[in-house]
Structures are given as C-alpha cells and as structure tokens.
Structure 1
C-alpha cells in the first residue's frame, strides 16, 4: 500500500541522529523519498566522534518504506548546500518538505555561564551551527521548494515560543540560538505563506536521543532505569514521536492553518492523533510548566 507521502520529496538537514533521524524515518514510513544530510559518514566522523552515520539513517528510511538518500553536507558551506539542492533538483525535480534540524552545539555550551564567562569561540561557533546553517539552507533550498504549491518548511528548535518567552534557556548563546530559530519560522511564514507554502517551528519534548540515552547510561529498551536518578525523565519521548509530527504536517492538505506558528510534538499528537512508539502521547511542554518547573514530584498521569 502506498503511504500518504508517496511521490513526495523531503530534505532533512541534520539527520545523522536524534530528532533528525526520527523525522527522516517517519517521512520514509509515509512513503517519501528522503535526502538526509550531516557530516558523519561511514568513512568520516564529525567532531562529535559518534558512531551514527547518515548512511545508517538513509538505510532506516528505506527499511521503513521510503527511499533514503545520504548526502554528506556541511551546512556552513554554501557551496556544498548549493550542490545538494542542485542534485535534488536534477534527480527529483521537486522538493516538498524541508526540515532544518542542523544543530551541533552539545559540546559548545556551558550551563548557566554568563556571556562574559562563557568561552567566546565556542559560543560564536554554536550560533553559526544553530542559526547560520538554517539561513544558508533555506536560501538555497526554498526556490526549489516553491516550484510546487503546498510545500512545508519545518524549523526544528528547543522550546515553544510561549515557553521560551518567559524562560531563560541554559545560557546567553543557547537561549539566543533556540529563540532565533523560532523567529526564523515566523519570518519564513510571512515570506512563504503568500507564495503557497507553509513554515512552522517545531520542538520535541525531552528527547530520548542516542546522546541522551548515553548520558544517562541506559538504552531505549531500559530507559526507565534512569528514573531512579532523574524522575522527570518519565515524560521523555522517542525521536520517532516528533518524526510522526512532521509526517502528519506534511500529509495535511490544510497545513497552511499552522503557518508561522510554534508547535510541539505533544501538541500535534492531540491534533492529529498519532502516538509515540509505545502508544503513549507525552505532552512534555505542558508537563514542564505544570509539574517540573513548579518543583512538584514527578508524575506523568494525564501527561502521556
């Protein structure tokens, strides 16, 4: 049976691991051809020095029912991004979904360090990776995306507009990076909406990415063992959950109703009716506001 995105073409920029991989796989499960990019391949690793590769992600896309295409790309290099888009245009003649999930800043920020104490080079590098990459990718990819009406741009970030407006996020550089991406989606909504396309900002909740699981010393099959030391981790979600959010948006013929908005995986699960892999529907951002941030005991009843 064909999926709802059969014949559609997506680019997930930053799909080596984490949310990007989860999104790519779910777009594939819906039948899309998905180009996946990143800097870590089976022959070369980025400074993260982790084992996940874009080829692995492409294989998972194909196994899910789509067609995965891995293209090594440094999104800080406009020439590489231009070549990537030219390749998609030559091979497919269209681009229906662009997901800007480039990040790369986990090893560059210092928790709660004020700007004058934070390493300046690392802070500026973080901003380049988190913001400049998105601008470069949009600049080169959007002309192809706008060839057909109904296309979708998803700007991936951390936190909703409402939450980030009133909450200091980690430090100056991290806060600026994540809020800049929210504003990018708002601006793109104004530029793309009149031209027949939709732009949104999207945040997962507490993501059980490969790096997060490693940080807590657990695997996906025993992740609840981490609750002994981090009880609020009970609200966490797999990367496939936000992937299902993107797939639902891409398949929605009325997706323009979301144009320019800030959305979350848990919020969209309520709109579209999808679940995480375990059948639950975690709503992490409501949980943070109502349970975790006020200092209440961990209790996910009514939140997943």
Structure 2
C-alpha cells in the first residue's frame, strides 16, 4: 500500500529515534510547519523497548495533529536492511528527502533502566558494552542512515542532514563560538565524549562531500533537554534554563527553512545559538 501524501506540496523529513524525547519534539515541530515526517524507532504499540512512554505511532499521530502528515515506520537502526528499506520507501513515495534528522541513539538503555551510578562512574568501572552500544547503535546508525539518505537529499537541492550530537566540555568540541560548549558536565565519561565527537566529524566530513550538491550537513548540540530519561533524574540535575524537546524541534525546523543554510554547512551549531539566530524560545 503506497504511503499517503503527495510528491510536491509538502516537504519530506525523516526523523530517527522519534518515539520520544528530542526526536518526538523535532517531528512534532515539523508537523506544525506542515511537513510529511517519517518517524522511525524501535518502540511501537505492539512492542515497547523500555518502560518509558512513547511509540512511533504516538509520534506520527502528534505530527498529523499538528498539521503535518506523520508516517510511523518501526525500525531498528542497528539493522542495515531495515534502514535501507525505509530509504527505499521514501524514494518510492516521494523521490526525494528534504531533511534527515539523525537522532536515534544507543547506550541510554541502561540509564533509562535506572543505572544512574554506572552512567556517572569512571570509565574503569563502566561496562565496555556501554561504549559498544554508543558506537553501534549511535554513531554507526547515524552513518548508515545518512549514507542511505544521501541520494534522496541530493535529489532535493537545498536539503539538510542534521546529526543530533552534544558538546562535551573538556573534549575539544565546541558549538558556536570557540570555548562555548552547549551543555554542562560530561555525562557518560570518555565513551560518550568519543561518540559525540565522532558524530560531529561525521557531519563535517559529509558536508564536504555534499556541498557541491547543495545539501547542507550540520551537527546540532542541544543543552540539557527535558526528555523522559533526563526528567527521571531531575533531582540530580540543575535544569534551570534547560530546553524542551519541542524547543529543540522548533530550532531545527527554523534551521531547515533558513535561506542562508549553505553558509552553515559543516558546522556544529548549539541549539542556544539557533534560538538567538531565529528568535525562538527553546525552553518552553
């Protein structure tokens, strides 16, 4: 059965890891701007992956309720065949992709299950599986989705690939002005810092190859975002001035509509920087 929608009236986005958190916030914001949004994640109405709320069906319904068109697609982003099938489905229905938001991320599963002390332990007390999950289910998943999406992005000059990352103080990563990291603390330790640095380099290297096709590639660095997992540990965190998933979504939606988008390609952009650039409140 072909996907609903059309080929020309709505811009088309693919948001990975969108059953909850930042992904859901981005998808819903795009819906509010009238986009068709393909929503992928492992959590479905039939099979939830954690005890946290949220499914691809819920998110797609929120996109449609906001004024867009949400298309839920269950997808394990560790499965290359499944990711390739999503790209093929978008190609068959639309022939292009205007925005990829690489947000799916591995390594949070143990934290979501309550492993706060482990998450904040020194690296020699953390399981190596934490590193493996971040790179296999995070960085590698982002690489595969971007590689499979590239021909569709190239078919839509002026399109954008966003890699959701984070600046880790002390790691050498800086979004926006030098010396201005976008989030406090160094959660997850060296494994997390390495994975996020790799994400930034992916966005930068992809930008170099996509520029001639008028496709922009950026990393976006949220600050503390009030996701379901973060709120679970609110007592341990200072969330004053923190961002909402919807606020991050509004920032990325505005970025995708920026007529000067190509001047930003290859950069790591703090959500706070985008909020200032577009006059958006990302805390609400």
TM-score bracket, normalised by the shorter chain, equals 0.7 to 0.9
1:170 counterpart residue number: 188
Question: Is residue 2:31 matched to residue 1:28?
Answer: yes
**1:87 aligned to which of 89, 94, 97:** 89
Question: Is residue 2:32 matched to residue 1:14?
Answer: no
TM-score (ref. length: structure 1): 0.80
Does the CA contact (< 8 Å) of 2:130 and 2:191 recur in 1?
no
2:241 counterpart residue number: 235
Partners of 1:244 and 1:143 in 2: CA distance: 26
Please show how residues 106-255 of structure 1 align to structure 2 within 5 Å: 106-108=108-110, 110-159=118-167, 161-162=173-174, 163=181, 170-216=188-234, 230=237, 232-255=238-261
SS in 2 for 1:200: strand
Task: Figure out how many residues of one structure are paired with residues of the other and give that number.
Answer: 260
1:268 counterpart residue number: 274
**1:104 aligned to which of 83, 103, 106:** 106
Q: How much is the aligned-residue C-alpha RMSD, in angstroms? A: 2.1
Q: CA shift at 1:168, angstroms?
A: 5.3
Partners of 2:209 and 2:187 in 1: CA distance: 28
Larger radius of gyration: 1
Partners of 2:205 and 2:227 in 1: CA distance: 29
Does the CA contact (< 8 Å) of 2:242 and 2:283 recur in 1?
no
Q: 1:129 to 1:67 in 2, by over 3 A?
A: same
Partners of 1:108 and 1:127 in 2: CA distance: 15
Greater than 3 Å deviation, 4+ residue runs: 107-117, 166-170
SS in 2 for 1:131: helix
Partners of 1:215 and 1:53 in 2: CA distance: 21
TM-score (ref. length: structure 2): 0.85
Q: Which runs of 5+ in 2 are unaligned?
A: 1-7, 112-117, 175-180
Q: Deviations over 1:67-115 (max 9, x none)?
A: 0000000111111011111111111221000000011322347345444
Question: Is residue 2:265 matched to residue 1:259?
Answer: yes
1:62 counterpart residue number: 64
Q: CA shift at 1:215, angstroms?
A: 2.8
1:289 counterpart residue number: none
Partners of 2:57 and 2:200 in 1: CA distance: 29
Partners of 1:268 and 1:204 in 2: CA distance: 10
Partners of 1:85 and 1:123 in 2: CA distance: 27
Q: CA shift at 1:158, angstroms?
A: 1.7
Does the CA contact (< 8 Å) of 2:38 and 2:73 recur in 1?
yes
Does the CA contact (< 8 Å) of 2:20 and 2:53 recur in 1?
no
Does the CA contact (< 8 Å) of 1:108 and 1:123 recur in 2?
no
SS in 2 for 1:233: coil
